[in-house]
Amino acid sequence: MHRKLSAPGWLLWFAASSCVAVAASGHPAHEPHVHGIAALNIVLENHDVHLTLESPAVNLLGFEHAPVTAEQKTAFHATRQILTRPPRLFALPGAGCQLVDSDIWMPEIHSHTDGDDGHDHHEEHADIHANYHFQCSRIAELNEIRIDLFAIFPGIQQIKAQWVTGRSQGTQLLTPAANRLKIK
């Protein structure tokens, strides 16, 4: 699906479909929580690329609750470190893009050890949210975005991607075998 949007049109589209809105509970709003599936929203505006990734924590961490064991805390910190390096996650070929800002939201680490807190963590469902802002010197050269999340996080089986630019908008289902998002 491709359709030209005016600036106010794409702002409304992105606001309506954004995964970063904050719900009354203080947690980011999202589509239904489905293991193996993540969501990626992309907005290209002038020389800027904004990417928002939302995924069930189990896809990236291997568990869904706040980390409590030493092994889970190690996985948590490793995942956070990977998410702070978006060039490992997304390739923006030919556009001369540099990361300007990022924001990562992950389940909080518990202060107690080994899960001995009286809570049943197996019933919890947590999501991870990551926002990235790139500035690109040659944005007109950006025709596709390669998504390398599948190789790094094998728990992700599909990514529902949607994008909007000044000229078009669209959606695409990405998989490990089809990880290139065509944006033009």
pLDDT digits (tens, 9 = 90+) for 38-75: 999 999 999 999 999 999 999 999 998 888 899 999 99
Ramachandran class of 46: left when φ > 0, alpha when ψ lies in -120 to 50, beta otherwise: left
Per the model's pLDDT, the better-predicted residue between 110 and 130 turns out to be: 130
- The pLDDT value recorded for residue 32 is 57
> Could you tell me if residue 171 is inside a domain?
yes
Q: Where does the pLDDT of residue 179 fall: very low under 50, low under 70, confident under 90, or very high at 90 and above?
A: very high
Domain annotation covers residue 73? yes
Whether 65 contacts 134, CB under 8 Å = no
Question: What pLDDT, on the 0 to 100 scale, is given for residue 31?
Answer: 53
**Can you tell me the mean pLDDT for 148-154?**
96
| pLDDT on residue 126 | 86
Q: Pull the structure tokens for residue 60.
A: 């990236």
Assigned domain for 157 exists: yes
Strand order in the sheet with 144-147: 90-91, 144-147, 180-182
Give me the number of domains the chain comprises.
1
Asked whether residue 72 is domain-assigned, the answer is yes
Span 168-173, mean pLDDT?
93
Residues in the chain: 184
Reply yes or no on whether the pLDDT at 140 is more than 80: yes
71, part of any domain: yes
Residue numbers of the domain that contains 128: 7-111+122-182
Average pLDDT, stretch 2-19?
40
Residue 3's pLDDT band (cuts 50, 70, 90): very low
Q: How confident is the model at residue 115 (pLDDT cuts 50, 70, 90)?
A: very low
Average pLDDT over residues 139-148: 94
Contact 178, 139 (CB under 8 A): no
> Tell me, what's the pLDDT at 167?
82
For residue 1, being part of any structural domain is answered with: no
Give the mean pLDDT of the chain: 80
Between 127 and 29, the more confident residue is 127
Q: What is the pLDDT of residues 72-92, one digit of tens each?
A: 999 999 999 999 999 999 999
Q: How confident is the model at residue 124 (pLDDT cuts 50, 70, 90)?
A: low
pLDDT at 66: 83
Residue 48 included in any domain: yes
Which tokens hold the place of 96?
A: 């001369």
Whole-angstrom Cα distance, residue 52 to residue 19? Answer: 7
- The answer to whether position 154 is within a domain reads yes
